[in-house]
Structure 1
C-alpha cells in the first residue's frame, strides 16, 4: 500500500511522444515514495466545473533526485484533452503515489514484461528495478498500429530481447502480444511475467502463463471515480490467500494483482460463490 500525499505540482515538461503526451511533474515528497505500478490522480480544472473527478494515470518513472514523476497520457476525453493543453509552468493538483506496486523478485530473476500502447508505461520503472537487482528482462510491446506503440526504443536500450507486435502488421509481428508470448517466455527462461494494458490482454496473458506454470502479475486499468477506495466503482472479483473470492478495489488493493487470482471471466457480474453474494442479491 502506498502512502500518498497531495501536492500542487509544477509542469516542467509536456511534450509529444508518438501518439501520446509525456507529462513531467515536479513536487516535493512524491517521487521518493513511488514504486513500479503505483499511479497518480490528477485534478483537471475547467471553468464550467464539469470536470469534477480526478483522472488516474500510471506513473511511468520517478526521479527522487529531481523530485519529478513522469506520466504518459493519450487524449481520449475532455479530461485528458484539458491536461494535454496545459503549459510548462502551470500547476496541477496531484495525489500520489496511489495503489499497490508490482511484486518484484527479491533475488535476481529473468522477467518478461508485456505492454500494449501507453498502457505499458509502468513497466519501464519496473525493468530498471529488476536490472538494478541483478536480474534480466525481455519485452513484448504491442499496439493496434505502429503509431500507437510506446517505449520500443526505450526497451531496446535496456535489453536486446524485445519483440514488437501490431494488430495491423505495420510494425513488427502481425498480431497481438500473446502471439509470441510462449516462445518468448521459453527463450529467456522467464520466471515471472509482468503485464500492463487493456483487460482483454491481461486476461489472455494470465491464461498463457497459467498453462506454462509461470508467475504472472497484472496492472489493471479499471475506471476509478475516487482513487482512494471510497466509491467502490473499480471492484474486481479476486481470489484471496484463503481461497475465498471477494470483491476488491483496484485503486487500493490493486492496481497490481497476481494474474492467476483475478476472476477475469466474472468481471462485471456477481459470482454466486463470491463472499457476500447472497446479501448483494437481496439488495
Structure 2
C-alpha cells in the first residue's frame, strides 16, 4: 500500500473534458508519492454534508514541482454532481495516494495500454514511465460513443500506435477494445498488457493477453467506501502465490492486480473454496 497523506487540497481548476470533468488539486506532499495506478479518496461537501463516504478516483497525473494531482471523473450520482460544482480556491479533504500501483518494468519493455472511457486516465503517466525506461507503448482506447472517449490526443502525443474503438462506430473502429487486441499484441510483440475499465472488459483483456503470451495487469473498478482497507466492501476473490484463494481488498491490495489471479467469474460471490468461506457458512 502507498504511504498516504490526509490534506486539505486547494482546487486549482475544474474544466470540462468531453463528457467528463478534469480536476486539478494542489495537495502538498502528495504528488511526490504518486505512482501510476494510485488513487485519491475525496470527501464531498464538507463536514456538514450528508454525503458521508469519500469518492475514489484514479490519479491521472501528479506534478511534483507544482504540488498538484489531477483526476478525471464523470457525474454518476449525488457525490460526483456535487464535486462538479467546486470552484478554484475551494478546499477538499483528500487522502492520497492510495492503493497498490501498476508494476512497471525495470528496463525496456513493450506494453499495450487498454482502457474504456475515462479508465484511460492513469494510463498516460504509466506510458511515460515505460518510455522513460527505453520501452515502447501502444494504446487501445474505447468507449460506447465518441464523446465518451478520453485521452486520444494525449496517447497520440506519446506514440503513433493508437487504436480507437467505439461501440456505435462514431469514432475509430466499430466494436470493443478487445476486438483488435490479439492482432495488436502480435504486431507489437507486447510483453505486457495494462488495462483499466469495466470488470467484464478486464476479464476479456486478461484472457486474450494471456492466450497470446503477454502478462496482464488490471486496475479493477470496485466500489470503495473507505479506501483504506477497513470496511471490506471492495473485496475480490484472488488466487495467492501459494495457490490459495482469498478475499483481498481492492483498495489496499489493488486496485492493480495480476489479471490471471483474479477469479473474474466469482466476483460478487463467496466461492466455497475461498479461504474462510466455511466460517461464513458457505458449504
Q: Normalising TM by the smaller chain, what interval?
A: over 0.9
**TM-score of the two chains, using structure 1 as the length reference:** 0.98
Q: Please give the alpha-carbon distance, in whole angstroms, between the structure 1 residues aligned to 2:16 and 2:250.
A: 29
The alignment partner of 1:260 has SS state of helix
1:170 and 2:164 equivalent? Answer: no
Output the aligned Cα RMSD: 1.2
Alignment of 1:1-283 (within 5 A): 1-45=1-45, 49-281=49-281
Structure 2: give runs of 5+ residues left out of the alignment. none
> Aligned residue pairs: how many?
283
Render the CA deviation track for 1:94-117: whole Å, top value 9, x for unaligned: 100000000111010000000000
Return the alpha-carbon distance in structure 2 between the equivalents of residues 47 and 2 of structure 1: 26
**For residues 96 and 46 of structure 1, do their structure 2 counterparts lie closer, same or farther at Cα, with a shift above 3 Å needed?**
closer
User: For each residue in 1:217-262, what CA deviation from the matched residue of structure 2 results, as whole angstroms up to 9, or x when unmatched?
Assistant: 0001100110000000000000001110000000000000000000
Alpha-carbon shift at residue 282 of structure 1 (Å): 6.1
Given that residues 237 and 262 in structure 2 are in contact (C-alpha distance below 8 angstroms), is that contact kept between their aligned partners in structure 1? yes
Deviation at 1:47, TM superposition (A): 8.3
Show structure 1 runs of 5+ residues with no match.
Answer: none
Taking structure 2 as the reference length, the TM-score comes to 0.98
Deviation beyond 2 Å, 4+ runs, structure 1: 46-49
Q: In 2, distance between residues paired with 1:259 and 1:117?
A: 19
Cα distance in 2 between the residues matched to 1:239 and 1:31: 32
